[in-house]
């Protein structure tokens, strides 16, 4: 029999991820403070709760898909939720969280007989809808193994190491992704000024050594068509970059290129509306050169 699942955080990613679990036959009880997000899960056939504490009562697996470690800490620090969380439950934090925070939370939960596994994802909203996420898991081998059927509904999971390893890997991945996107914007802009067609540039780079997720996905799908609607917020990307450079600093690793990239992304964050999509970094780069 499938484990009872609680799903906390039903946003751009958590919405389609929880719906897939329902589709695979899991009993999912979801919570999100946004009523529309709860209504979407109910429409997909899931159950909804009025609080995270109510959602986790009786759940064997609690999936979190929340904006940041600050929110994860608030949810997991709520005494009502901790009371409702059964001993032997497994919490799976699929958010892109701070690995140092994750390690601390894991220690605290272990003292209550609760296992924490981190399982952040890459692949965007489309990957969440199609069940084609890459899932970077961190935690004890047996705990990750027990979760593998559930994770397989959402994507392809691979264990990266002990608890926190997934979150560390995800932060580094997004630092690279963000740096590539900014570099691609600068490069394509220079080529365009020279007289190149951006679509031709991106296509040829995609069979050359400069290719990346920015040239094979973000530019063709969100930047060049001018839609800037990937479903991943610029604020969230900056959060991820800060985690990565914070980790480097804490570990004594110099990261001058990353520091510069974060500073530019932070300028864009300050200049753009709070709801801006992360692909807007390209439009912002183009606009800065137009002045
Ligand atoms: P989102 O803002 O769309 O969704 C987050 C949801 O959490 C919102 O619906 C919000 O109402 C809810 N929430 C906030 N506080 C809450 C609380 N206390 N209890 C319950 N729910 C609460 O963000 P998203 O794009 O779904 O991203 C979620 C996480 O996944 C982030 O860590 C992000 O960095 C990561 N991520 C996003 C993408 C993407 O393409 N969007 C891809 C990979 C990873």
| Overall average pLDDT of the 243-254 stretch | 97
d(CA 2, CA 186): 49
Look up the domain containing 285 and give its range: 168-290
Output 265 or 290, whichever has higher pLDDT.
Answer: 265
Q: How far is the CA of 72 from the centre of ligand 1 (A)?
A: 10
| Overall average pLDDT of the 126-131 stretch | 98
d(CA 41, CA 22): 9
Dmax (CA) for the chain in angstroms is 64
Task: Find the CATH number of the domain harbouring 234.
Answer: 1.10.1040.10
| Overall average pLDDT of the 64-82 stretch | 98
Q: Say yes or no: 198 and 279 in one domain.
A: yes
Tens digit of pLDDT for each residue in 20-33?
999 999 999 999 99
Q: Say yes or no: 144 and 258 in one domain.
A: no
Phi, psi of 250 (to 5 degrees): -60, -30
DSSP bridge partners of 116: 91
Task: Find the CATH number of the domain harbouring 38.
Answer: 3.40.50.720
- Residue 290, pLDDT score: 86
Q: Say yes or no: 156 and 237 in one domain.
A: no
Q: Say yes or no: 151 and 252 in one domain.
A: no
Q: How far is the CA of 182 from the centre of ligand 1 (A)?
A: 23
Q: How far is the CA of 99 from the centre of ligand 1 (A)?
A: 17
Of 120, 139, 161, the residue that ends a domain is 161
- Residue 291, pLDDT score: 67
Ligand 1: does its nearest atom lie under 6 Å from the Cβ of 213? no
Ligand 1: does its nearest atom lie under 6 Å from the Cβ of 127? no
Q: Say yes or no: 120 and 174 in one domain.
A: no
Q: What is the mean pLDDT of the chain?
A: 98
Atom of ligand 1 nearest to the CA of 75: 18
Q: Say yes or no: 147 and 248 in one domain.
A: no
Q: What is the ipTM of this complex?
A: 0.99
Q: How far is the CA of 119 from the centre of ligand 1 (A)?
A: 14
Q: Say yes or no: 64 and 106 in one domain.
A: yes
Q: Say yes or no: 109 and 192 in one domain.
A: no
- Residue 208, pLDDT score: 98
Of 145, 161, 177, the residue that ends a domain is 161
| pTM exceeds 0.90 | yes
Q: Indicate the top mutation candidate among 49, 52, 67 to test ligand 1's pocket, ranked by most ligand atoms within 8 A of CB.
A: 67
Tens digit of pLDDT for each residue in 139-175?
999 999 999 999 999 999 999 999 999 999 999 999 9
Number of domains in the chain: 2
Q: Say yes or no: 176 and 157 in one domain.
A: no
Query: Could you give the angle at the alpha carbon of 186 between the alpha carbons of 183 and 192, nearest 5°?
Result: 135
Q: Say yes or no: 189 and 270 in one domain.
A: yes
Three-state SS at 251: coil
- Residue 102, CB-side half-sphere exposure with 13 Å CA sphere: 32
| Overall average pLDDT of the 50-75 stretch | 98
Active site residues: 170
Pairing of strands 133-138, 121-122: antiparallel
Query: Could you give the angle at the alpha carbon of 168 between the alpha carbons of 162 and 173, nearest 5°?
Result: 130
Written as six digits, the tokens of 204 are 């040829």
88, burial (CB in 10 Å: exposed 0-12, middle 13-18, buried 19+): exposed
Q: Is residue 109 scored above 80 in pLDDT?
A: yes
Q: Say yes or no: 194 and 145 in one domain.
A: no
Ligand 1: does its nearest atom lie under 6 Å from the Cβ of 8? yes
Tens digit of pLDDT for each residue in 42-51?
999 999 999 9
**C-alpha torsion sign, points 160, 166, 169, 174:** positive
């Amino acid at each position: 029999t499938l484990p009872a699942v609680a799903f906390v955080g039903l946003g751009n990613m958590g919405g389609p991820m929880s719906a897939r679990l329902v589709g695979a036959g899991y009993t999912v009880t979801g919570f999100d403070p946004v009523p529309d997000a709860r209504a979407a899960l109910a429409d997909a056939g899931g159950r909804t709760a009025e609080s995270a504490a109510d959602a986790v009562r009786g759940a064997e697996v609690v999936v979190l898909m929340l904006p940041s470690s600050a929110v994860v800490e608030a949810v997991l620090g709520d005494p009502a939720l901790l009371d409702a969380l059964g001993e032997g439950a497994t919490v799976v934090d699929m958010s892109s969280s701070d690995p140092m925070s994750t390690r601390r939370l894991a220690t605290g939960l272990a003292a209550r007989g609760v296992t924490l596994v981190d399982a952040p994802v890459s692949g965007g909203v489309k990957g969440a809808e199609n069940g084609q996420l890459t899932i970077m898991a961190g935690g004890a081998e047996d705990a990750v193994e027990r979760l593998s059927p559930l994770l397989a509904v959402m994507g392809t999971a691979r264990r990266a190491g002990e608890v926190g390893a997934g979150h560390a890997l995800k932060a580094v991945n997004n630092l690279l992704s963000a740096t590539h996107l900014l570099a691609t914007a600068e490069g394509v802009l220079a080529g365009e000024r020279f007289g190149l067609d951006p679509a031709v540039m991106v296509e040829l780079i995609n069979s050359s050594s400069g290719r990346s997720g920015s040239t094979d996905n973000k530019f063709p799908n969100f930047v060049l068509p001018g839609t800037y609607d990937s479903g991943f917020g610029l604020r969230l990307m900056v959060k991820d970059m800060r985690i990565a450079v914070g980790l480097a600093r804490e570990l004594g690793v110099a990261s001058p290129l990353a520091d510069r990239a974060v500073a530019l992304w932070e300028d864009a964050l300050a200049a753009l509306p709070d709801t801006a999509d992360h692909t807007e970094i390209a439009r912002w780069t183009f606009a800065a050169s137009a002045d």
